[in-house]
Amino acid sequence: MNSIKKSGSQGRKDRKENLRSEVAQVKGQLKISHLFTKPPLSLQQQTTKDTDRLDTGSTAVKGKALGGIAILAVGVAFLLRIGDIEKVFDDWNVQAVPILFIVIGAIIFIVAFFGCCGAIKESHCMTVTYSSFLMIILLAQIVLAVIVFVYIGDLQTASRQVLQRMWDNKDAGQNPEIWNNIQSTLKCCGFDGPRDWGLTVPPSCCASGSSCIITDAFKTGCNSAVYNFIGTSGNIIGAVALGVAGIELIGFIFACCLANSIRNQSRRSAYQ
């Protein structure tokens, strides 16, 4: 009987020791996990964090408005420049590219204004709408850049062919005003150079715009000038479109963070 009592007592002691060991092990694990776990932010800290996001998002939206104005200005500048020499491009509707730039710039400005209103009013719906429009514009600009880079070579080849036909017909009195516009706008003279005109060089071949002699004429031929103008303009338009698209991608991310911060602030305000 005594041996049974001793064995029972020993069993209880063993179970207690095992239980204590397990409790100590759990406490140790909790202490270790606590070292690697960030404590939850207080309401004030979270509110401050969201306010910082609101300020950053608002600044990004204002930057997008300025970017829209810049794109619009670039489109207007190219449209005015191309307007003087558009006959060189024959059946190519080259005005469509700067016009599209103007439209995209205007839309960006309007959408950015919409985003500013959403940030000021702290409207989650308006900010999400702004983000959606921003993504659509971003995709449109990427498509525009791809089109420009793909067709720029074809446009250069077509312009050379048209320019050659215009030069061949100049003795018949055709296209005199077009040649004057090309030469004065692109600072060029003749097809390959001023000597193409012979002894009589038109006034548009000189910077003064009045009487012109061959020694004072522009040295670059209009064949090369038009070719280089198309290449440079196309590269600038494509690069600007891709550059602004990259900025818009960053703006889209900020807009999503802004919308999330506005929603979080609204939820916390409802529980206060």
* Lowest-pLDDT choice from 68-72, 103-107, 196-200: 68-72
Nearest to 105 by CA among 151, 149, 141: 141
- Segment 230-258 mean pLDDT: 83
Rounded Cα gap, residues 249 and 255, in angstroms = 10
pLDDT at 86: 61
pLDDT of residue 171: 66
Q: What's the gap between Cα 139 and its chain centre?
A: 10
DSSP per-residue letters across 69-82: HHHHHHHHHHHHHH
- The pLDDT-based confidence of 214 (bands split at 50, 70, 90) is confident
Extents of the domains making up the chain: 51-271
pLDDT at 235 over 80: yes
Give one DSSP letter per residue of 154-222, joined into a string: HHHHHHHHHHHHHHHTGGGT-SHHHHHHHHHHHT--SSSSGGGGTT---GGGSTTSSS--TTTS--S-H
**Residue 193 φ then ψ, to 5°:** 165, 175
Using DSSP, state whether 122 is helix, strand or coil: coil
Q: For residue range 141-188, what is the model confidence (pLDDT) as tens digits?
A: 888 888 888 888 888 888 888 888 888 877 655 667 778 888 888 899
pLDDT category of residue 221 using cuts at 50, 70 and 90: very high
CA distance 207 to 185: 10
Q: What is the pLDDT of residue 2?
A: 46
What is the rounded end-to-end Cα distance, in angstroms, of the chain? 68
| The pLDDT of residue 40 is above 50 | no
Q: Per residue in 184-211, pLDDT tens? A: 888 999 899 999 888 888 888 988 777 8
Provide Rg for the chain, Cα atoms: 35
pLDDT at 85 over 70: no
Yes or no: say if 188 and 219 are a contact pair by the CB < 8 Å rule.
Answer: no
- C-alpha 150, offset from chain centre: 19
Polymer length in residues for the chain: 272
pLDDT at 228 (0 to 100): 92
